[in-house]
Amino acid sequence: MSFAEFFQAVRDTQFFTGVRESMLVYPIVMSLHLTCIAIFGGMILMTDLRLLGWAFTSVPVADVIKQFRIFKWLGLIVMVTCGILLFGAKATDYYDNPYFLIKISLLLLVGVHAWVFHRDVYGNPEALDRAPAIPGKAKAAAYISLCLWLGIMSMGRWIAYFEKPDPIHDRKSNHAQTASRELHSRPTSARR
Amino acid sequence: MLVYDPATNPLNNNEWSFPLAECVHIATFAMSVGTIAIVDFRLLGIELRKQTPAQLLKETSLWTLAGLIITISAGLVIMTTDPVAYYLNWAFRYKMIALVVAIIFNYTIHRKVVLSESSSPGTRKLVALVSLALWTSIVFSGLFYAFT
C-alpha cells in the first residue's frame, strides 16, 4: 500500500468523511483549533516574553511557568486533537503538502526544544528567579520557542495555499482563483 | 466617482501577501485574546492566584492594546481584497458588531471589575465568562466566513 492509498483510505473512512462533509463539525473543529492558538498560544507568548524580561516583570518566572503549564498541556491536547480531525478529513490534500510537512517537523522540534531546555529552564524556574539576571540559556529558549511557534502558525496557514502541480492551471491568475478553494478563510462569494 | 476594483489590489496579485497578512492577523489576535484570557482565567480563580487581577491587567494591557491595533489593521488590509463580499457576509457582520461590543466591554465593565478590589467573586466570574465568550465568538465568526 502506497502513502497515497493509505491516506486515501484514512480520508474515506466513515468517521473522517463525516467530519469533512458536515456543515458544522468541520468549521467548528477549525474554529476550536484557532481559539486554542489564541488562548494557549497567548500563554506561550507571555511565558517567552517573561523569560526575555519584556513582560510580566513583576511576576516571578516560576509562577508564570508553573501556573501556565497545565493550561498549555490542555491547550496542546485540544489543538492536536482538532488538528488530527482536520488532517484525517483531508488526508490526501495534506500528507504531501510541503507546508504541512514543515509544520509537523517544527512541531517535532518543539518536543526537542522542551527536552533540551527542561533541566536548565522549564524544569527549574526558581533558579531563574534567584539568578541576578535571566541567564542567556533561558533567553535562547524563549527566542527559539517564539520562532518555532510563529513558524508552526504560519506554515499552518500556508497549507491552504499550496496547489499540487497542475499543468493546465494558470498559476499567474488572480489570487482569488489560485488560492485553495476548500481551505482558506475567505468568503465563498469571494472565490470567483 | 471613484470606483475600487479589487482586482487591482496587490494582495490579489501575488501568492504570498494575502497569507502573510493572515499570519500577522492571527499572531496578533492571539496576543490580544491570549492576554485578555490570562486576566479572565485569573478572575475565574484558576491561575496565577498569588497575583491580583489588577496586577495581571497592568502587566498585559500594553500587549493587548498593541495586538488589537495590529490585528485590526491587518484585518482591514485583508478586507480590501474583496470588501463587498465581506460586507454581505453574515458571519463578518456578526464579527464586526461583536468586536465593537467586546472592545467597549473590555475597556469599561471588564476593566472596572478587574481593577476594583471590592468586586464580588460572582461578578468577577460572570465578567470573565462574558469576556471569554465574546472573544471566542469573534474568533469563530472569523473562520465561519469561509463556510457561509
User: Which cell numbers in the block locate residue A34?
Assistant: 484557532
Residues B11-20: pLDDT tens digits?
888 888 999 9
Domain residue ranges of chain A, discontinuous segments joined by +: 3-163+173-182
Decide if pLDDT at B49 tops 50.
yes
User: Which cell numbers in the block locate residue A121?
Assistant: 529552564
Question: In one letter, which amino acid is A128?
Answer: L
CA distances for B77 relative to A130, B28, B95, B125, angstroms: 45, 14, 16, 36
**What is the percent of chain B with per-residue pLDDT over 70, rounded to a whole number?**
99
Contact A59, B57 (CB under 8 A): no
Determine whether the interchain pair B34/A26 forms a contact, defined as Cβ–Cβ distance below 8 Å. Answer: no
Question: Which comes out higher in pLDDT, residue B15 or B133?
Answer: B133
**Given CB atoms, is B47 within the 8 Å cutoff of chain A?**
yes
Determine whether the interchain pair B48/A71 forms a contact, defined as Cβ–Cβ distance below 8 Å. Answer: no
Give the CA dihedral A100, B18, A89, A71, nearest 10 degrees.
70
Give the separation between CA A18 and CA A39, rounded to whole angstroms.
28
pTM of the predicted protein model: 0.87
pLDDT value for B1: 64
**Given CB atoms, is B85 within the 8 Å cutoff of chain A?**
yes
Only one residue has cell 464580588, namely: B120
Determine whether the interchain pair A157/B12 forms a contact, defined as Cβ–Cβ distance below 8 Å. Answer: no
Residues B52-106: pLDDT tens digits?
999 999 999 999 999 999 999 999 999 999 999 999 999 999 999 999 999 999 9
Determine whether the interchain pair A175/B81 forms a contact, defined as Cβ–Cβ distance below 8 Å. Answer: yes
Contact list, B85 vs chain A (CB under 8 Å):
186-187, 189-190
**Candidate from B30, B50, B82 with C-beta closest to A190:** B82
Distance from B116 to chain A by nearest Cα, in Å? 19
pLDDT value for B3: 80
DSSP labels, A26-55:
HHHHHHHHHHHHHHHHHHHHHHHHHHHTSS
pLDDT value for A68: 92
**ipTM rounded to 2 decimals:** 0.90
Determine whether the interchain pair A160/B34 forms a contact, defined as Cβ–Cβ distance below 8 Å. Answer: no
Give the separation between CA A167 and CA B3, rounded to whole angstroms.
35
pLDDT value for A177: 45
- B17-31 average pLDDT score: 95
pLDDT value for A61: 95
Q: Report residues of chain A scoring pLDDT below 70.
A: 166-192
